[in-house]
Amino acid sequence: MIKVGVVGGTGYTGVELLRLIAQHPEMRLQVITSRKEVGVAVADLFPSLRGAVTLTFSDPAKAALTDCELVFFATPNGVAMEQVRELLEAGVRVIDLAADFRLKDVAEWERWYGMTHACPDLVEGAVYGLPEVNRDHIRSANLVANPGCYPTAVQLGLLPLVETGVVDIDHLIADAKSGVSGAGRKAEIPILMAEASDNFKAYGVAGHRHLPEICQGLALAAGKDVGLTFVPHLTPMIRGIHATMYARLTRQHVDVQAIFEARYAAEPFVDVLPHGGHPDTRSVRASNICRIAVHRPQGGDTVVVLSVIDNLVKGAAGQAIHNANLMFDWPETLGLTQLPVMP
């Protein structure tokens, strides 16, 4: 059993991470930090963890994170990069659930995130934590950049087509919808109940921070740059992402259903539905599963891929646990076999 630290345990991703770690048979929570809730019992802030987590929140500046063997950062962008070097030098392995180490082009990262990177020399050695792509590299990694929620759903939906070279990669489209928990646990007018409920809107059409991350992953799969139009939407639900991808076939006589089934046949957390399926976000709620369906309307040359995940689990905390399982040579599904919640 390893000692685990969580930096930033008060957000939606943080509490989901605590829920999963508390149920993991090989992890023991050693320290949980929060700048605002120092000294508060975790179970007092999150009654759902009562009886499972007995720690209190520690001051990040005083927490003994170097006593841990693994530290998760469930913090806003720009926090992990200020602390990672000290942990790595102390022999602690790190999984960052924010975006600090996802983009290999540091200048591109600084342009999209509007800040100077604190440790650009560590970026190249960080491993992008999408297990379905980088499984072998994750096993030996000391620093893992956990993917974003939209990038997880979109990349898993498009990778089989891009990898096999059967679509026009210059004109890919991803139309994605997310629940309001994706915006974080904070008080902002657009995500207030009276604003988000009974409403539906697009945002970030001119450019979203997850766009370069998605393009980076697809370009690696294709061996060259891709052209992607990515449009995110906010939906009046708490959890879930539904991404609809469109691509134009460059080969007419191809069985797209077979391509997806073959690509994900051995993946424990990707479920390719039978031909004609329509996955919904409720079917993956609170689970680490990505469900995918692929269509070819009217037998034409347009492929439509439907991909659904729980943004807080497969899109964040669950994927982080999956990465930890790989890093410590445990079974990949350890602590992640929870079935989706219904209704």
Active-site residue identified among 68, 119, 149, 290: 149
In the sheet where 228-234 sits, what is the strand order?
201-202, 228-234, 172-178, 241-248, 302-309, 290-295, 270-272
In three-state secondary structure terms, 170 is coil
Q: End-to-end CA distance of the chain, in Å?
A: 34
**Distance of alpha carbon 35 from alpha carbon 16, whole angstroms:** 18
149 is catalytic: yes
**Distance of alpha carbon 212 from alpha carbon 108, whole angstroms:** 8
Q: How many CB atoms lie within 10 A of CB 173?
A: 17
Under the phi-then-psi rule, with left for phi > 0, alpha for psi from -120 to 50, and beta for the rest, what region is 126?
Answer: beta
* H-helix segments, 288-328: 318-327
**Distance of alpha carbon 205 from alpha carbon 231, whole angstroms:** 5
**Distance of alpha carbon 276 from alpha carbon 241, whole angstroms:** 20
**Enzyme catalytic residues:** 149
